[in-house]
A and B are shown apart, each in its own frame.
Chain A
Amino acid sequence: MIELKQIHKYYNPGTINEMCLFDNFDLTVRDGEFVSVVGSNGSGKTSLLNIICGSIRIERGQILMNGRDITREKEYKRMSHIGRVYQNPAMGTCPTMTILENMSLADNKGKLYLLGKGTDKKRKEYYRDQLSLLNLGLEDKLDVKVGSLSGGQRQAMALLMSTMTPIEFLILDEHTAALDPKTADTIMELTDKIVKEKNLTTIMVTHNLRFAVDYGNRLLMMHQGASVLDKSGSEKDRTQVDEILKLFNEISIECGN
């Protein structure tokens, strides 16, 4: 469970450009929830993820992970419980390293990185099996450098790598936004499968309203640092894209854009 309590977040504090994003923002994500977060640009979606992961500091408030206060905990320490996939496919993999080396790196998360062999030959078959689930033919390219793969292939690998070791939370930051529609569909289906299989508590930020409606069991719409819509369970199942789009248009007009 992740709880955000009375979060205050200002950008450029103390300058004339000071902007208050979150003012007393609360959010609780219960175990097993798959939350889709939608909202216009600047509504605080990505900041929300950054606050949970510890990539940005908050001015006031409390962040709890399974009841433990992690407000002051460093980003890299939090990541031992969290898997994160970024919008940019380049963020989740190492381009100059081969597929095998990337998989080995990810496979060792949670353990020490000392002078043991970087790749364990015994795990090769397992990596092949995992890669073959992607249906991209990557299982036959273990010695190819990841930098030469397409964005979609890299993103699929990033997703696989971030969920390879036992984690509790999955953070998806517009992870299909940079992909073509077909690849985006593939990645989204794969995401859903992994989330269900591993029973991950997931927060997915997306601009794709159809994904937000079709996937997950809770839907959140953000606007100017607050949630303007929060539906879960059967209520969410009944929600249609049109309905979301209508609300989306309303808040956008309000904003004057």
Chain B
Amino acid sequence: MTEPVTMAKAINQSLHDALARDESVLIFGEDVGTLGGVFRITDGLQKAFGDDRVFDTPLAESAIIGIAIGLAVRGFKPVPEIQFDGFIYPAFDQIVSHVAKYRNRTGISMPITIRVPFGGHIGAVEHHSESPEAYFTHTAGLKVVAPATPADAYALLQSAINDPDPVVFFEPKSRYYLKETIDPTIEVPIGKARVAREGTGVTVIAYGPTVGVALDAAKAAEKENISLEVIDLRTLSPLDMHGILESVRKTHRAIVVHEAPVFGGLGAEIAARISDEGFDFLEAPVARVGGMDAPYPPARYEKLYLPDVDRILEEADVALAYG
């Protein structure tokens, strides 16, 4: 594609291409058919592929995932959509007890890609801005992906749908309308991070919605002669520790940034793994910037709750003060 496209369109295109390439791919969920999804991600797909391939379901998340399991056993590659991050919890049992464990129990693979718009910054009402990724990275048997750019969203969704294992695919709502030129021939494998910006002073590890904030922080830091390297994880499970450690080996300092609450979040795992596998590289403790240990606040307060440039730079200052 030569024209820049939004992430929303890139995902739509990726779904379209998957449906066209592989007739075992099915897309279903709440409002994904006629309406084309509340974010229009599935716009036009039912029209193009028929309502046996792209269909609306009753309003029941647990059954949406439950039937995906049965369809997978039947030989399909289901791509169910959970409408919002905060609505995934009714499906939690099906995801954790079965999607993640069915193969371990039976030897039958579960090529299911669960798409979930996630994260805040959109001024939404309660339950529409959550970051539940750590529940799923904590579950063996799942792969968890969170792209940050349109090109990655296209390519990683291809990788997820083609993967024989279940993938929870978190789409950063706040970046749905970011535009970029995408090349459908470029493959992005699951499990590989990318360096979003090179730097030497502090490694900032981000994913999904926080990649933009981290890059903004790096720009601001440059004016103060502070050099930040931004790592975009792209895949949250499995973690690309090789990529992370390569950067920390260079900068000796790391900050993990996510919107989810810091307590018990993915940042805790990353910090622990860096101190475990990269202890000798460190000149400062690994810092975490993220949501507070409080429920996601009402929209007018979300900017205070979410990681921002200043909070990243403050942690960078602390890390650099170690020498």
Whether A and B are associated in the same complex: the answer reads: no
A residues sitting closer than 8 Å to B (CB atoms) are none
